[in-house]
A and B are shown apart, each in its own frame.
Chain A
Amino acid sequence: MGITTDVAAGGNELVIKVAGRFDFSVHQEFRQAYERAPVRAQRYVVDMGGADYLDSSALGMLLLLRDHAGGDDADITIANSNADVRRILTISNFDQLFSIE
């Protein structure tokens, strides 16, 4: 499974773990992860620890999540990115929209 989810912080936080390639092939799964989540989270964490690749469609998916999570009011952290993932996030200046750890 490329995408798994976890609920933390007493139901307030949804952690979405991405494993393998974060590209268009996991589009459906990623969307369902937050759309069908058991809780309406206030905070989101996208855990990229297991992800070895990220492309522009993944960036698009992150934007969709941000839209769902309240747009400018969204609280989303992208965690555990490896060097390649971080490079892509930096070039696209996504740190202006997400917290990057």
Chain B
Amino acid sequence: MDRSATILIAEDNASDRLLLSALLRRLGHRVIEAEDGAQALQLFDAVTPQLVLLDALMPPPDGFEVARRIRARSDESFVPIIFLTSLQDPESLAAGLAAGGDDFLSKPYNATVLRAKLNAFLRMAEMHQTLQQQRDEIARHNRYLLNEQEVAKRVVDKVAHSGALQLPNVRYVLSPLALFNGDVVLAATGPLGNLHLLVGDFTGHGLAAAIGAMPLAQIFYGMVGKGFHLREVLREINARLHDILPAGVFCCATALSIDFADGLVEVWNGGLPDGLLCRGDGLLVPLVSRHLPLGIRSARQFNDAVERLQVAPGDRLLLWSDGLPEAAGAGGARFGEQRLLEICGETPVAERFDVILDAVHRFVGGEGQVDDLTLVEVTVVPRAEFAGAVPGRIADAAAQKWHLVFALEAESLRSVNPLPLLLHFLMEVPGLRSRSGQLYTVLAELYANAVEHGVLRLDSALKRTAVGFARYYRERERRLQRLTEGQVRFELDYHGDHNGGVLCIKVADSGAGFDFEAWRDGSTPDHYAGRGLALLERLGIRLSVPLPGNCVIVEFRWNDV
């Protein structure tokens, strides 16, 4: 099929120029005519033709010179140049090609030959353009993907590579080279002072791994912070990953929990190369991979069994992902576990981390980068030395003092449950985290008391029978819906630090109150007082209810030393 194009011709011979134009126009092309070299260059810049026909012999600049200058200008576009010439000698032809010409057309012009050459070159130019467009699109797409990966990496870095990794007894190396290599290292301290560590290696790099790393980290930090046991954390992580990750994507991981006070380590390894417990006496105990990686087993089948090992201050735990044993050296040899064990055997404990890193780098040598290298070392220290930084959202190292007032009016009493909000706020306080159960009980009972007896003025005597119970709650609902005036007010007063503290909870209502002391020693038949307060007293929580009795104060003290 004949392609049609814009063609520039430069020919100083008028009749030849006329003839050539006519020929080209008959073939369906648009012709731009130049009478000499200088004009040809001007028109080339102005028009950007798809093909150029140049008479070789013109007064300067002649065809060859024009060709050279055109080539000098051209960016990446492919503009075929055909010389019009009767020159036959090899030197001239060679000079033509050297100047940047692609072909020659001799005089007299042959319409068929001209047509054939034009078609061939225009087809090539079109292919060239297509290739470039595709290349540019691929490059664009690539940049886009790389950018996405970069974003994913930053997100994951924030979540997955933070926490307690700034502790002095934890050393680690995460390869900075791979844009995103699927490795995560998480560390957090529980409320009782246990250090939890998780090293993970997701299959699939880039975004596939990012999808799993986020929930992994969130669950880990969330649960460890709330005092859950390692086994429960792993169970939850496995269940979530099993749900989210597609079949075939999983996370090899080693998790450990160190109780510095008891000198005990619990280890769970699913799919990572065996880690090492390096005892102070030189003994090397492998931390064997006994489980399937996370995300493969369903929640029902997940095996959370941990291995328990005694440790003493000075012992070190070494963990690594498979990037280390698989590091490739000259001739494709792998670094291997054997070499690692040998190094550990020969090197003093305190130097092992650095010696291993150095050995791997030297092994890989100039071959390439040490990709995917993750190495973590935890040193066992005496409990007193361990200053576990708990990842909290409020600064909790220094002493704190704050006062919170939270009041609910009638409309809010109808529709808002303040307890989750208050509890969530209180969980920011490190010392209170392990006491969330108790706190909840206190707040819930005081609140129920304030609402039902203080504001709604219900008689709790009703609650003693089954039928009465149902009536009570119907009545409660009825009165709540019709409530126009009333208030329940929480006042929380906190003073403490990471060793202990005092939380004073005061819940007041807009009701008439009651005589607490009289109620307590049974000297009044007043049944307005709730069961709840009795419950709290039985739990050993000291209440004080100053007259007129519409406010209950509970003092919470704790000590973590």
Contact = CB atoms under 8 A, between A and B. Distances in A.
| A and B from one complex | yes
Interface of A: 56-57, 59-61, 63-64, 67, 72, 91-94, 96-97
B204 A97 contact: no
A56 B292 CA distance: 13
By Cβ-Cβ distance, the 7 closest A-B pairs, closest first, are: A60-B248, A56-B203, A92-B271, A67-B247, A64-B248, A63-B248, A93-B292
B225 interface: no
Interface string B265-284: 00000111110000000000
B516 interface: no
A91 B289 contact: yes
B224 interface: no
B247 A93 contact: no
Contact of B204 (A60, A67, A92): A60
B96 interface: no
Given A63-B296, A64-B247, A64-B248, A91 B271 contact: yes
B71 interface: no
A61 B272 CA distance: 18
A94 B290 CA distance: 10
B203 A93 contact: no
B250 A97 contact: no
B252 interface: yes
B293 interface: yes
A42 B176 CA distance: 46
Interface residues of B, number: 20
Contacts of B292: 92-94, 96-97
Interface in B127-169: none
Contacts of B249: 60
Interface of B: 201, 203-204, 247-250, 252, 270-274, 289-293, 296, 301
Most buried by A among B204, B247, B250, B301: B247
A3 B291 CA distance: 29
A60 B289 contact: no
Given A91-B289, A92-B289, A60 B203 contact: yes
Given A56-B252, A60-B248, A96-B292, 5 more contacts: A72-B301, A92-B292, A92-B293, A93-B290, A93-B291
A72 B271 CA distance: 19
A57 B246 CA distance: 13
20 contacts: A56-B204, A56-B252, A57-B203, A57-B248, A60-B203, A60-B204, A61-B248, A63-B247, A63-B248, A63-B296, A64-B248, A67-B247, A67-B248, A72-B301, A91-B274, A92-B252, A92-B271, A92-B292, A92-B293, A96-B292
Nearest to A64: B248
Given A93-B290, A94-B292, A57 B204 contact: yes
Nearest to A57: B203
Contacts of B271: 91-93
A67 to B, nearest CB: 5
Contacts of A60: 203-204, 247-250
A52 B203 CA distance: 20
A60 B252 CA distance: 12
B329 to A, nearest CB: 16
A33 to B, nearest CB: 15
Contacts of B273: 91
A57 B273 CA distance: 17
Nearest to B289: A91
Contacts of B252: 56, 92
B287 to A, nearest CB: 12
A97 B289 contact: no
A91 B292 CA distance: 9
A64 B204 CA distance: 14
B476 to A, nearest CB: 50
A93 B290 CA distance: 6
A20 to B, nearest CB: 14
Nearest to A95: B292
A90 to B, nearest CB: 8
A60 to B, nearest CB: 3
Contacts of B290: 93
A59 B296 CA distance: 11
Contacts of B296: 63, 97
Nearest to B248: A60
Contacts of B291: 93
A57 B205 CA distance: 10
Contacts of A94: 292
A99 to B, nearest CB: 15
A59 B295 CA distance: 13
Contact of B270 (A56, A64, A93): A93
A91 B271 CA distance: 5
Contacts of A92: 252, 271, 289, 292-293
B207 to A, nearest CB: 15
Contacts of A57: 203-204, 248
Nearest to A61: B248
A64 B301 CA distance: 18
A67 B247 CA distance: 7
B204 A63 contact: no
Contacts of B301: 72
Nearest to B291: A93
Contacts of A61: 248
